[in-house]
Amino acid sequence: MYFDYFTAAALVDELNEKLVGGRVQKIVEIDDVSLGLEIYSQRTRHYLFLSADPTNARIHLAEDKLRRGASVDSPLTLRLKKHIDGAGILAIRQPRWERIVILDFSAPDGEYSLILEPVERRANIILVGNDVILECVRRVGADENRVRQLLPGYEYQPPPPQNKLPPGSIISEDIKRFLDDDVHTTAPQSLTRRIHGMSPQLAREIIFRATGRANCPAADSSPRDVFSAYQEIMQPLLEHNWNPGITLEKDRVTAYSVYPMMHKSGWQTVGSISSALEQFYGEVSGEAAYEAGKKPIYDQIKNAGKRLNGKLFSLQKQQRDESEVEKLRQTGELLLTYQFQIKKGMTDFEAQYDYDSPALKIKLDPLKTAVENAQTYFEKYEKAKRSRAALPDLILNVERELRYLAQLETDLDIAASWPEIGEVQEALQQAGYWKGSKVRQPAGQKSAPYKVVANDGTVIWIGRNSRQNEEVTFTKGANEDIWMHARGVPGSHVVVKAGGRKVSDAVLQEAAAYAAYYSKARSEKKVDVIVTERKHIRKIKGGKPGMVRVMEQSHPTLRTEPRPVLNKEK
């Protein structure tokens, strides 16, 4: 979708009305090409989103608080935090006939401008002080653009002007000339080539109103009708009379504009151009960056799972192969039986243990006697027998490790911040599953369990990873409290602070819905949730954090619809 000149103009008007005179309170890096400013203005917090995404570059106010999506601040974000964190907003402006939006700031150490150039593949966000570039999202050197370099320390130069006509000066003769000169192309293309601020979508709307066809050929378009439609649409836009809206098709937003659109179905007005943009592009979040950060951790979990499953297969095979252990004993006995036929220097010997079985081909150590070789096989038999006796415990330990890996995978699914993602990585490292260089979590960045206060004042604690689960169950929870967990899948430990009193059904259902949502079964329509008193929960001896055993279920299982926490306390 094309973020055009008139969209930018409407945004500038909206932002000037709401933000000028305000102050920057927070700067967050959403991903490597997008950032957010929290601005306090007119006794209200506003959240301004800017993106230099090559295909979806834009700027608009966001309805909800913007959250960080990058694990490490980029050079631009570091510069912004240094120079404009706490700065006042002096003005928001737009160069004439350009899609560029400029935010001017006043800080204690000087004045700065943050410039958004939403120009498709060359989109950029640039911080400028005293006309000098301090930093930008995308650095452009001479090898990429000989005319215009965007590098720290270089003087900022705006994009070169385009050789087009201003939209307010267009007369009917101009339209006729455009269409006559472009008889081999479409009428919308003819307009976009010649007129400043004319986006493909705006041109199609004009031609549709004139001809009934959005992509009518220039040769089939009446200059008089096109000029009439041009004036009908353009006059309000030039006077900044905005009519922001979106088009809907099957409940999906397909376009936005600052004028009514007739060439697309399902047009409806919205309260602001920011609202239109947010509805079209969707909720702003750091999810894409989070997913990129999660991928190498998922890969480590997958690889660790493969290794453990291989180990489990080998152990289970050993458990099944009892005959191989017995064969060692039989070999030793055969060597003693036929010891007088075996001489030093022999490397193998064949003999039958009984008449119904095939002959055994026995490997011999040529430096040993028959009795010494027999003793070697008896020692191997005793060792194999001891190992086989230990197999059940070894298999149990590997199965526990696989369950812990499944829990860590669910922890990663649920993780909604960089500290939470980092904790999963740290848990993998501490458990010995991580291959490659290790990363230590910064001090003070441990995530906390969710605390929810139900309508009747009951406190509900929700753990969302293994460490939090351990904390919720054994630190936050007391013996008389209620403990919950989705049945049969990795997930959250939930504790309802009951203190021995009866908890209402409504609170139990609410807590169970949280246990269901923060589990591997969160996408299911209904989930069974175990409910019991906390005193019936025991740590698994030698188990990893959060691994427990339910000794007794004191309450009926609840079947509930998963629901996320919407209102939590810190």
Is the pTM value of this prediction over 0.75?
no
What integer pLDDT is reported at residue 457 of this predicted model? 92
Residue 148 lies in a domain: no
How far apart are alpha carbons 498 and 483 in whole angstroms? 10
* Helix 200-211 and helix 187-194, axial crossing angle in degrees, nearest 10: 130
CA dihedral 516, 520, 524, 529 (to 10 degrees): -30
Residue 428 lies in a domain: no
Q: For 431-489, how does the pLDDT look when each residue is reduced to its tens digit (9 = 90+)?
A: 999 887 666 665 556 788 999 999 999 999 999 999 999 999 999 999 999 999 999 99
Residue 568 lies in a domain: no
* 188 and 243 inside one domain: yes
* 471 and 530 inside one domain: yes
Q: For 527-563, how does the pLDDT look when each residue is reduced to its tens digit (9 = 90+)?
A: 999 999 999 999 998 889 999 999 999 999 999 999 9
* 370 and 401 inside one domain: yes
- Give the whole-number percent of the chain exceeding pLDDT 70: 96
Q: For 22-65, how does the pLDDT look when each residue is reduced to its tens digit (9 = 90+)?
A: 999 999 998 889 999 999 999 999 999 999 998 889 999 998 88
* 355 and 336 inside one domain: yes
* 94 and 54 inside one domain: yes
How far apart are alpha carbons 164 and 161 in whole angstroms? 9
* 277 and 299 inside one domain: no
* 24 and 125 inside one domain: yes
At CA 114, angle to CA 49 and CA 282, rounded to 5? 15
Residue 433 lies in a domain: no
Q: Is 125 in contact with 149 (CB distance < 8 Å)? A: no
* 465 and 361 inside one domain: no
Residue 179: exposure state from Cβ atoms within 10 A (0-12, 13-18, ≥19): buried
Of 246, 281, 316, the last residue of a domain is 281
Q: For 225-284, how does the pLDDT look when each residue is reduced to its tens digit (9 = 90+)?
A: 999 999 999 999 999 999 999 999 877 889 999 999 999 989 999 999 999 999 998 756
Residue 379 lies in a domain: yes
* 241 and 304 inside one domain: no
* 492 and 540 inside one domain: yes
Residue 152 lies in a domain: no
Residue 570 lies in a domain: no
Domain housing 354: 289-414
Residue 439 lies in a domain: no
Of 254, 281, 308, the last residue of a domain is 281
* 340 and 262 inside one domain: no
Of 258, 281, 304, the last residue of a domain is 281
* 9 and 122 inside one domain: yes
Number of domains comprising the chain: 4
Residue 239: exposure state from Cβ atoms within 10 A (0-12, 13-18, ≥19): exposed
Domain CATH code at residue 39: 2.30.310.10
DSSP 8-state class, residue 544: P
Q: For 388-438, how does the pLDDT look when each residue is reduced to its tens digit (9 = 90+)?
A: 888 888 899 999 999 999 999 999 999 877 788 889 999 999 999 988 766
